């Protein structure tokens, strides 16, 4: 304690004022008592223990540190020092060790002390192990300590932070400052003697003076401050914008004047700085706004700031001067914050410019600058996409197909370090006219020029392409074209490809000549189908080759496909023809046009050789067929090749155009094109046009030649008709016309790819629709293949258009839109008007519809139709004439039929179509008449209950598709059979003569009337047309009656002698029939299902053939109706003798000879148009001479014969149409279509 007292006393005397004073053993209240509160103030001392520590005993012996402090002070009357706490802790630990050892033995107590771990008011008590003499764990130096500080006589912990009870006071006050802590007068006052009682008196400091805690007397307020009242402890600073009234001891502040500044606490105003203004009462100067300046001090208002003049700027505030704009920059008005760059097309050549000069004032009209902020007149040049012509004063648009970089000039063409107009990729110019641009057919041909950093390079053609040729459109001499590239001929000519191609063509043409002229009868359906399929494939390939003439570029793999297709247009560059013959375009065009004539000449040679080897070769028909096949196959290629000079594409500016086939040839502007055009037109006039004309003539004459049985005509034009169904015989010409129109598209429409694609697509779509409707090919799969291939070539066209990314022009788009909208509206209006017209006029209403079995009663139904129409003029319908689908038939009965006549034969009600017609008629309330023939057997109840089984196979499934249930069929059949809601006409015997059918018509038309007695039929007159039909077969008799009516309707001259149906004269007997045959002009034998079992007809046939063998008698004409089968060898040996036991061998031979005669089909179940054609063919065999000539003629002309019998069935061929004997559904439908 003494040391501490001595230290503090000397420091005070010597006026040593440290920032901090730290001594040991000073955490003791006795220090405060020894040196006093002021001198001990701020003293720091480290200590082992303090009562404020957060520690306590485990067993509460002393309690916490605070408890120990209180107990000690209570006991001893003074606060404990840390040594006292330490001593108490040692005793406490010894006590606990003895208790733990349970003995006072020294060693035992030591061990207990070593193992002791005890929490106490002093902290954790532990002792070190043997050998460590440091003693108690936690004593110095390892025990953490705290720091205390004496403030105003109190001792508290200030460190560490977690144990601190008050904040550290640092730095420590000086000794003088500490002395003031005990000054007797408060701040703002000073000692002023002693009062009467001896106490010190205090006096307030005067206004303008002050005293604080750091002074012992009143002091005057310093400059810039004031004290306006007595007793001031601290003078106040004059507020900003004011100053003190006096230099010192001021009692108040006054306002600063405008144009000056008075910082806080100042006594003299400062002038407002440059670039600023200072209104009165402002604390800080206000800067002049950007765009203005103030070049003098003392500014008072914003108006004292001057605006920057045009051509100068000031971006910052508080500036004393404005900066001039540099060259290339300008300000057009005053007070600008920054200069603007002269825009492109202008320049500023001086600093401080207020307006930029236009390039047109110092350079060419339309010139501009490449960059902004230009300052030199040389920077004004023509902009991109324009150029300066030679001696020009204004910039002109860059020619189409060229690109012009900035500063392009015509007079710089070819210069090393300048820019000029250069051709784009896909375009080229020639050195003789550097601005005349030609478009190259393919971009690869013309790589175009290039410009970089304002320097352009000379353009070139692709390697080995002639740079002097227009559009780089041909290879150099000594090079050949392969695809889109030219390659050198390598100094020699490879003739092998040419030889191989030539040999392949020679062999192929010879093979084709043989294959297509094989006997039609010997060709199987498979062979015909294969030939038709190849035709479809080749046709699609040919059509695709037309795309080469379009203004299109093809992406892979379509590009490679188009290269292959080029062979179809006689493009033989693939075999390096340029290396063999002249590459002159005229020579190439002439060579291509000579290919078809060369083919025809070679075919002629082949035919001559074939004639030598096979003398029976029909030279004319076979040559015509072969030549027609080749021309029809290559028709597209021939037309395209001939049209090549007319297929042009325009160059930029549309002044010139080039051939697509030969881009180096300018259309209509060169001698080469004139020659090629003459060659092409001549080739078209000499080959495709005559061929098309002949084909059209052949189609026009086809029905007439068929009627004349001109087999030579059919063989010659086999290429035109044989592949198609007879009903679509005209399709070959339609096909040629379609191909011709496709070939003409690129001729008529130039460059507009959208219009070209639309035109071709329209033609193809129309042809596909026609093909789907007509189904023209003989082979069913060929129709599918043709449709699929046509769809594929349309997809190829669309793919090429999509892959090329073509965009239609606005005009084209508008035109296409108008056409499409017009077509749509026209079709809609036409359809609507047609339906309205049909509903208003109802001319298609039928007075009667005859429901019949087409297999067993087709001829009878057709004859009834004819007779009803003849007697009444009513419109009568048969489904075989106008209706080919069941839904159409049922709809017709619903809406267009007034009277349904059901001609009931054996199988009528088993036919699904008949069942549907009857149900529909009953449900729609039509008038119904049932004609019951002797062969009709009404269905029994069990059959009606199982109507689905009663109908033909598949009938129930067919009818249910149209909503007709089996219950509907049962109910309708019951009504029909029981005459409920309908009337009956009973036919007692099968009608087998004209009289019988006339009576039937009377019953049908006049309900309840009796048939009139048969009229007298005149006896057969000499020279008449005799017709023989099975007298027991009503279908044969009806067919004969139909033929008679056809003959009368034809107005043939021989009808003056009459027509005789032998079954009308059964009263004449055999002798009478023979007499009639002997004097007849011709005999038509109707071959029906029962003919081979009818002795009457067999005797007539044998008799007539016997007369023919002797050179007498009529022309005998067999006509087979549906269902007839020609006899086999078994018939002649086994069946015929049983039917006609007395038949002689000669008569058997005569019957066989008759059945080997060409028979004419007479398809009574087909349409009336077909029957008319077949009747005309039959009538064509009847001699037209006078009756006297017929009677005197002794050598009647007999029909030619041909072997017709086979082991299974006979076949007769008429006009190239094979008719299978016997009847099945397939042949029935085929004959109907014929």
Q: What is the per-residue DSSP string for 535-601?
A: HHHHHHHHHHHGGGGSS----TTHHHHHHHHGGGGT--GGGTGGGTS---HHHHHHHHHHHHHHHHH
330-351, pLDDT tens digit by residue?
999 998 989 999 998 899 988 9
Question: Is residue 864 a contact partner of residue 902, using CB atoms and an 8 Å limit?
Answer: no
Least confident of 260-274, 369-383, 546-560, 1198-1212: 1198-1212
Question: Is residue 684 a contact partner of residue 481, using CB atoms and an 8 Å limit?
Answer: no
As to burial, measured by CB atoms within 10 angstroms (0-12 exposed, 13-18 middle, 19+ buried), residue 1195 is exposed
Average pLDDT of the segment spanning 1024-1048? 87
As to burial, measured by CB atoms within 10 angstroms (0-12 exposed, 13-18 middle, 19+ buried), residue 3 is exposed
Return the closest-CA partner of residue 889 out of 959, 972, 984.
Answer: 959
**Cross-strand pairs, 191:** 202
Q: Of 52-56, 867-871, 998-1002, 1006-1010, where does the model show the most confidence?
A: 867-871
743-774, pLDDT tens digit by residue?
888 888 877 777 888 888 888 888 888 888 88
Place of tokens 């230290």: 7
The answer on pLDDT for 324 being more than 90 is yes
Q: Of 489-493, 955-959, 1059-1063, where does the model show the most confidence?
A: 1059-1063
The answer on pLDDT for 699 being more than 80 is yes
Residue 1079, CB half-sphere, CA atoms under 13 Å: how many? 17
The answer on pLDDT for 562 being more than 70 is no
Least confident of 246-250, 645-649, 1191-1195: 1191-1195
User: Which of the pair, 925 or 1169, is modelled with greater confidence?
Assistant: 925
Q: What is the pLDDT of residue 959?
A: 83
The mean predicted confidence, pLDDT, of the chain is 80
Least confident of 272-276, 761-765, 907-911, 951-955: 951-955
Instruction: Please give the torsion angle defined by the CA atoms of residues 1005, 1008, 1010 and 1011, in that order, rounded to the nearest 10 degrees.
Output: 30
Q: How many CB atoms lie within 10 A of CB 319?
A: 23
Lookup: tokens for 1225: 């559904």
What percentage of the chain reaches a pLDDT higher than 70?
85
The answer on pLDDT for 820 being more than 60 is yes
Place of tokens 């601005």: 435
Return the closest-CA partner of residue 1227 out of 775, 1218, 910, 1203.
Answer: 1218
Task: Determine the Cα–Cα distance for residues 51 and 85; give it in Å rounded to an integer.
Answer: 9
Question: Is residue 1158 a contact partner of residue 1213, using CB atoms and an 8 Å limit?
Answer: yes
Average pLDDT of the segment spanning 858-863? 89
The answer on pLDDT for 94 being more than 50 is yes
Task: Determine the Cα–Cα distance for residues 1045 and 864; give it in Å rounded to an integer.
Answer: 12
The answer on pLDDT for 1200 being more than 60 is no
Lookup: tokens for 1074: 């023979």
What percentage of the chain reaches a pLDDT higher than 90?
10
70-88, pLDDT tens digit by residue?
898 888 888 888 788 888 9
Average pLDDT of the segment spanning 380-384? 90
Average pLDDT of the segment spanning 1135-1140? 90
The answer on pLDDT for 596 being more than 80 is yes
Lookup: tokens for 221: 């307020």
Return the closest-CA partner of residue 445 out of 401, 484, 476.
Answer: 484
pLDDT band at 455 (very low <50, low <70, confident <90, very high): confident
Q: What is the pLDDT of residue 1223?
A: 33
Q: What is the per-residue DSSP string for 1122-1190?
A: TT-----HHIIIIIHHHH-TT--HHHHHHHHHHHTBPPEEE-TTS-HHHHHHHHHHHHTTS--S-HHHH
Whole-prediction pTM value?
0.51
Least confident of 131-145, 387-401, 1162-1176: 131-145
Place of tokens 């059918």: 997
Sign of CA dihedral 89, 92, 94, 96: negative
The answer on pLDDT for 139 being more than 50 is no
User: Which of the pair, 364 or 1067, is modelled with greater confidence?
Assistant: 364
The answer on pLDDT for 1118 being more than 90 is yes
User: Which of the pair, 148 or 785, is modelled with greater confidence?
Assistant: 148
Task: Determine the Cα–Cα distance for residues 580 and 689; give it in Å rounded to an integer.
Answer: 32
Task: Determine the Cα–Cα distance for residues 12 and 7; give it in Å rounded to an integer.
Answer: 9
pLDDT band at 514 (very low <50, low <70, confident <90, very high): confident
As to burial, measured by CB atoms within 10 angstroms (0-12 exposed, 13-18 middle, 19+ buried), residue 1076 is buried
Question: Strand 927-932 relative to strand 899-904: parallel, antiparallel, unpaired?
Answer: parallel
Average pLDDT of the segment spanning 924-931? 91
Residues 1042, 1044, 1049: CA angle, nearest 5 degrees:
95
Residue 429, CB half-sphere, CA atoms under 13 Å: how many? 23
What is the three-class DSSP state of 1223? coil
């Amino acid at each position: 304690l003494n040391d501490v007292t001595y230290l503090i006393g000397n420091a005070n005397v010597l006026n040593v004022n440290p920032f901090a004073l730290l001594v040991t053993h000073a955490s003791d209240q006795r220090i405060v008592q020894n040196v006093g509160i002021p001198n001990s103030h701020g003293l720091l001392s480290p200590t082992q223990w303090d009562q404020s520590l957060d520690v306590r005993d485990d067993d509460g012996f002393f309690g916490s540190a605070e408890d120990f402090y209180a107990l000690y002070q209570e006991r001893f009357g003074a606060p404990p020092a840390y040594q006292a706490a330490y001593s108490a802790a040692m005793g406490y630990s010894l006590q606990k060790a003895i208790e733990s050892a349970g003995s006072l033995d020294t060693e035992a107590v030591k061990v207990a002390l070593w193992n002791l771990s005890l929490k106490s008011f002093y902290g954790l008590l532990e002792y070190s192990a043997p050998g460590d003499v440091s003693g108690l764990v936690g004593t110095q130096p390892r025990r953490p300590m705290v720091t205390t500080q004496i403030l105003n006589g109190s001792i508290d912990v200030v460190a560490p932070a977690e144990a601190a009870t008050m904040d550290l006071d640092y730095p420590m006050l000086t000794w003088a400052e500490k002395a003031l802590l005990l000054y007797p007068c408060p701040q703002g006052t000073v000692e002023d003697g002693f009062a009467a009682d001896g106490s010190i008196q205090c006096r307030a400091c005067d206004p303008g003076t002050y005293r604080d805690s750091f002074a012992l007397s009143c002091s005057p307020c310093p400059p810039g401050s004031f004290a306006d009242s007595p007793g001031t402890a601290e003078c106040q600073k004059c507020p900003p914008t004011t100053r003190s009234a006096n230099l010192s001891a001021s009692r108040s502040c006054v306002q600063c004047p405008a144009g000056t500044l008075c910082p806080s606490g100042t006594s003299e105003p400062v002038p407002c700085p440059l670039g600023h203004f200072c209104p009165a009462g402002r604390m800080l100067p206000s800067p002049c706004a950007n765009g203005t300046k103030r070049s003098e001090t003392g500014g008072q208002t914003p108006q004292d700031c001057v605006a920057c003049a045009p051509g100068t700027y000031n971006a910052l505030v508080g500036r004393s001067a404005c900066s001039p704009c540099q060259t290339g920059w300008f300000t057009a008005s005053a007070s600008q914050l920054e200069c603007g760059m002269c825009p492109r097309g202008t320049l500023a050549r001086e600093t401080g410019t207020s307006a930029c000069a236009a390039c047109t004032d110092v350079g060419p009209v339309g010139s501009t600058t490449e960059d902004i902020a230009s300052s030199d007149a040389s920077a004004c040049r023509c902009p991109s996409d324009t150029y300066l012509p030679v001696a020009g004063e204004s910039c002109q648009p860059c020619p189409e197909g060229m690109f012009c970089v900035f500063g392009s000039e015509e007079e710089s063409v070819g210069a090393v370090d300048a820019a000029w107009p250069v051709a784009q990729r896909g375009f080229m110019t020639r050195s003789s006219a550097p601005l005349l641009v030609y478009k190259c057919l393919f971009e690869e041909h013309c790589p175009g020029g290039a410009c970089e950093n304002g320097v352009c390079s000379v353009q070139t053609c692709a390697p080995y392409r002639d740079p002097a040729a227009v559009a780089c459109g041909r290879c150099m001499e000594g090079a050949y074209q392969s695809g889109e590239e030219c390659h050198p001929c390598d100094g020699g000519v490879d003739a092998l490809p040419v030889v191989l191609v030539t040999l392949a063509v020679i062999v192929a043409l010879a093979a084709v000549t043989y294959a297509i002229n094989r006997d039609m009868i010997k060709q199987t359906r498979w062979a015909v189908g294969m030939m038709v399929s190849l035709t479809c494939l080749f046709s699609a390939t040919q059509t695709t080759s037309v795309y080469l003439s379009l203004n299109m570029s093809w992406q892979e793999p379509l590009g490679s496909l188009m290269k292959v297709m080029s062979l179809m247009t006689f493009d033989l560059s693939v075999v390096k023809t340029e290396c063999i013959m002249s590459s002159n375009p005229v020579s190439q065009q002439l060579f291509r046009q000579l290919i078809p004539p060369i083919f025809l000449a070679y075919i002629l040679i082949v035919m001559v050789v074939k004639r030598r080897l096979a003398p029976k070769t029909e030279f004319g028909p076979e040559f015509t067929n072969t030549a027609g096949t080749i021309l029809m196959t290559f028709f597209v290629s021939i037309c395209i090749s001939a049209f090549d000079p007319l297929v042009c594409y325009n160059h930029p500016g549309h002044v010139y155009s080039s051939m697509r086939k030969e881009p180096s040839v300018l259309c209509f502007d060169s001698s080469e094109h004139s020659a090629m055009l003459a060659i092409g037109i001549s080739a078209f006039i000499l080959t495709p046009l005559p061929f098309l004309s002949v084909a059209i003539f052949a189609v026009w004459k086809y029905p007439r030649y068929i009627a004349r049985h001109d087999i030579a005509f059919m063989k010659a034009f086999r290429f035109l008709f044989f592949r198609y169904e007879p009903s679509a015989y005209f399709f070959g010409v339609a096909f040629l016309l379609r191909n011709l129109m496709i070939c003409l598209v690129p001729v008529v429409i130039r460059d507009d790819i959208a219009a070209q694609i639309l035109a071709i697509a329209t033609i193809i779509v129309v042809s596909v629709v026609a093909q789907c409707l007509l189904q023209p090919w003989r082979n069913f799969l060929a129709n599918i293949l043709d449709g699929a291939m046509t769809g594929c070539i349309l997809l190829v066209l669309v793919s090429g258009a999509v892959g090329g990314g073509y965009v239609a022009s606005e005009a084209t788009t508008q035109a296409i839109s108008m056409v499409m909208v017009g077509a749509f509206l026209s079709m809609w209006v036409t359809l609507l008007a047609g339906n309205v017209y049909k509903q208003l006029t109802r001319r298609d209403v039928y007075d009667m519809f005859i429901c019949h079995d087409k297999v067993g009663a087709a001829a009878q139904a057709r004859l009834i139709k004819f007779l009803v129409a003849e007697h009444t003029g009513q419109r009568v319908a048969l489904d075989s004439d106008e209706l080919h689908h069941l839904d159409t038939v049922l709809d017709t009965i619903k809406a267009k039929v007034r009277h349904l006549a059901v001609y009931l034969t054996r199988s009528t009600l088993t036919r699904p179509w008949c069942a549907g017609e009857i149900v529909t008629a009953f449900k729609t309330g039509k008038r119904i008449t049932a004609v019951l023939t002797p062969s009709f057997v009404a269905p029994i109840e069990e059959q009606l209950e199982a109507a689905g089984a009663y109908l033909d196979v598949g009938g129930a499934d067919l009818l249910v598709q149209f909503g007709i249930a089996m219950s509907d069929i049962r109910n309708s059949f019951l009504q029909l059979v029981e005459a409920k809601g309908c009337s009956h006409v009973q036919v007692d015997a099968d009608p087998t003569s004209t009289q019988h059918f006339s009576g039937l018509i009377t019953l049908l038309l006049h309900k309840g009337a009796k048939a009139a007695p048969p009229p007298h039929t005149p006896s057969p007159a000499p020279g008449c047309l005799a017709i023989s039909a099975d007298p027991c077969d009503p279908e044969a008799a009806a067919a004969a009656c139909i033929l008679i009516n056809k003959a009368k309707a034809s107005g043939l001259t021989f009808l003056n002698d009459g027509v005789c149906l032998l079954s009308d004269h059964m009263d004449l007997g055999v002798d009478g029939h023979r007499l009639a045959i002997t004097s007849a002009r011709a005999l038509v034998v109707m071959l029906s299902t029962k003919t081979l079992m009818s002795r009457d007809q067999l005797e007539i046939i044998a008799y007539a053939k016997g007369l023919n063998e002797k050179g007498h008698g009529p022309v005998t004409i067999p006509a087979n109706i549906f269902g007839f089968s020609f006899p086999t060898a078994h018939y002649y040996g086994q069946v015929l003798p049983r039917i006609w036991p007395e038949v002689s061998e000669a008569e058997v031979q005569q019957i066989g000879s008759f059945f080997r005669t060409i028979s004419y089909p007479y398809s009574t179940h087909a349409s009336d148009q077909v029957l008319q054609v077949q009747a005309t063919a039959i009538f064509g065999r009847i001699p037209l001479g006078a009756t006297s000539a017929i009677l005197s003629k002794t050598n009647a002309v007999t029909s030619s014969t041909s072997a017709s019998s086979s082991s299974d069935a006979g076949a007769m061929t008429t006009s190239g149409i094979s008719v299978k004997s016997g009847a099945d559904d397939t042949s029935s439908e085929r004959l109907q279509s014929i």
